[in-house]
Amino acid sequence: MIVTLRQCQCRSAAAAPTAVTSWLKKFFGDAPILQYEANAQTIDILYELVENNEACERDAELLIDDMNHMAASYQEEAKYLEALLTKHLGFSITSLSQEGTSYLNELVNTALTLEIKDTSLSSFVTAVNDMTWELCETESENRELECELTTIKKKLTAALVLEKQLQEDLKKTEEDLEIEEAQTKSRSQNLNFLQNKSEDFKTRIKTAEEQLAAIGLDQSLMHQSLVDLSEELSTLEKEVKSLEKQLEPYYDLAPNPSLVKVKIEEAKRELDALKAEVAAHVNKLALSMPESSKF
């Protein structure tokens, strides 16, 4: 079997160029054959094309023969029916009235439309049932398509409403952004103005301090020194309040005159010292404020 297969392959390979040349001459006819590179790969491809073409031609010939056979069979059946009608029943197409001919044509056209093999009642009923079933399926599909179309329309309407809302929101956002940009620009300008003013005040304060220092003004009366003294005064006042709160429990002590007197005296001395220090700072601030206001 292997030897036979190899022999067939060898024969096919040997006969391929001849078969390809014959097929090309048949295909192009009197026209010149196009030039091609005659190598093994090209011959194999063309030979495969030749085999496929010949197979298709054989299939077509078989189909044509089958159709011719069916046509001959239908013609024989038509002749038999015509002979039956004319000879045995005395009926012919020419003997029909115009209305009968019209009905017969309608019957034939209906049979052709329904694609039935004959005009028997069973064929008509079967074809009508099939078309009715197809009609029901088509109507069902149409209803489904209408439902889908309705759903798509609702979604499209919702999408259009959403798009319109988004456009309005976008427009409002752009307007708000423009307003915010204008406010930001105004704030930036105000900030630059305040920064310039601050730098100007700092320069003027520094110049005034230099002038005051030049005429022999005490540095303790400068603005920064006064601010530091004010902060120290606030700190001392808080400490005085704290000490006063610490003295409150001593007012309810049990009778122990010596110990109580000692504690009271210590607290009073500490309180007096803090008050004196506070008073000194207050007096110093009071004396320095009028003099600094003159400058």
Model pLDDT for residues 75-134, shown as the tens digit of each residue: 887 777 777 667 665 666 666 677 777 877 787 788 778 777 777 778 888 888 888 898
Token reading at 1:
């079997």
Q: Considering the domain boundaries, does residue 79 fall inside one?
A: yes
Domain boundary among 91, 109, 142: 91
Q: Considering the domain boundaries, does residue 72 fall inside one?
A: yes
Q: Considering the domain boundaries, does residue 241 fall inside one?
A: yes
Domain boundary among 91, 110, 131: 91
Provide the 3-class DSSP secondary structure of residue 57: helix
Can you give the pLDDT at residue 116? Answer: 76
Q: What range does the domain containing 7 cover?
A: 2-91
Measured between alpha carbons, how far is 167 from 18 in angstroms, rounded to an integer? 75
Domain boundary among 39, 63, 91: 91
Query: What letter does residue 31 receive in the DSSP assignment?
Result: S
Token reading at 280:
């000194």
Q: Considering the domain boundaries, does residue 192 fall inside one?
A: no
C-alpha distance from residue 70 to each of 39, 59, 77, 108, 135 (Å): 46, 16, 10, 18, 31
Q: Considering the domain boundaries, does residue 202 fall inside one?
A: no
Q: Considering the domain boundaries, does residue 80 fall inside one?
A: yes
Q: Considering the domain boundaries, does residue 198 fall inside one?
A: no
Q: Considering the domain boundaries, does residue 227 fall inside one?
A: yes
CB-based contact 288:226 (threshold 8 Å): yes
For the entire predicted model, the pTM comes to 0.32
Give the number of domains in the chain: 2
C-alpha distance from residue 187 to each of 163, 181, 200, 201 (Å): 35, 10, 19, 20
Q: Which residues of 168-192 are buried (b: 16+ CB within 10 A; e: fewer)?
A: eeeeeeeeeeeeeeeeeeeeeeeee
CB-based contact 264:250 (threshold 8 Å): yes
CB-based contact 284:232 (threshold 8 Å): no
C-alpha distance from residue 205 to each of 11, 124, 200, 211, 237 (Å): 117, 116, 9, 10, 30
Token reading at 229:
């003294």
Measured between alpha carbons, how far is 126 from 142 in angstroms, rounded to an integer? 24
Model pLDDT for residues 36-77, shown as the tens digit of each residue: 777 788 888 888 888 888 888 889 999 999 888 888 887 887
